[in-house]
């Protein structure tokens, strides 16, 4: 597994999945208070949530990179291009049930403003498909200049976050600094995913009591 992908997975495991439902993204941001849900989240790309590893392997046509499995958790990783940006496409399973899909964008930019451009290009496409977001981090007026905003994100002063709430899950796009890199992700996650992670975490803790 390449170093970048390990960093992305570590970010997902430790930060993204553990905190985005309940906690602020940073000291300057509000908690993620989503509006009333807008319906049911059923699909990621051309696959349906709840499918098995075998079913998704048969449907996904992008270049396969690798399979990552720990206990009852499994991730399939593909390489693709979304909205003219290169990305890794991650399918996250628990007990062979697809519960979370993620786009992890991998393009590197010397000009940090291009990360801001990428973020808003993707968010515009999401708005076209899902309507106005239910959560949108308000950018401070002193950071509306793209250059200043890029500096704030790359230095870790602010995270860009936008999200949509559904009766059974959430879509969240985030751009933030992590491990000295700018990470850009879009997650399609069922509420069941977090519930199952909580159960697995409790099970693992109980096994370690002795």
Along the 210 residues of the chain, how does pLDDT read in single tens digits? 455 555 555 455 544 544 444 333 344 444 445 555 568 999 999 999 999 999 999 999 999 999 988 788 889 999 999 988 999 999 999 899 999 999 999 999 999 999 999 999 999 999 999 998 888 776 766 676 778 888 888 888 888 888 899 999 999 999 988 878 888 999 999 988 877 666 655 555 545 555
- Structural domain boundaries enclosing 137: 3-207
Cα distances from 183 to residues 9, 79, 186, in angstroms, run: 11, 16, 10
CB contact at 8 A, 188 and 171:
yes
Task: Write down the pTM of the prediction.
Answer: 0.80
Strand order in the sheet with 73-82: 63-70, 73-82, 85-94, 97-105, 181-190, 169-178, 160-166, 135-136
Q: What domain count does the chain have?
A: 1
How far is residue 109 CA from its own chain's centroid? 20
């Amino acid at each position: 597994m390449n170093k970048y992908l390990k960093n992305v997975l570590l970010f997902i495991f430790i930060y993204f999945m553990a905190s985005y439902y309940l906690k602020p993204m940073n000291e300057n941001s509000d908690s993620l208070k989503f509006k009333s849900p807008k319906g049911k989240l059923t699909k990621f790309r051309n696959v349906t949530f709840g499918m098995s590893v075998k079913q998704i392997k048969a449907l996904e046509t992008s270049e396969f990179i690798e399979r990552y499995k720990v206990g009852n958790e499994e991730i399939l990783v593909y390489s693709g291009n979304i909205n003219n940006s290169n990305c890794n496409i991650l399918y996250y399973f628990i007990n062979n049930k697809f519960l979370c899909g993620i786009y992890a964008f991998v393009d590197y930019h010397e000009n940090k403003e291009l990360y801001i451009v990428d973020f808003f290009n993707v968010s515009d496409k999401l708005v076209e498909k899902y309507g106005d977001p239910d959560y949108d981090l308000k950018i401070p007026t002193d950071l509306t200049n793209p250059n200043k905003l890029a500096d704030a994100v790359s230095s870790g002063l602010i995270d860009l976050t936008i999200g949509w709430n559904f009766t059974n899950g959430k879509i969240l796009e985030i751009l933030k600094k992590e491990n000295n890199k700018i990470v850009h992700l879009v997650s399609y996650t069922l509420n069941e995913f977090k519930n199952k992670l909580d159960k697995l975490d409790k099970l693992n803790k109980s096994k370690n009591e002795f």
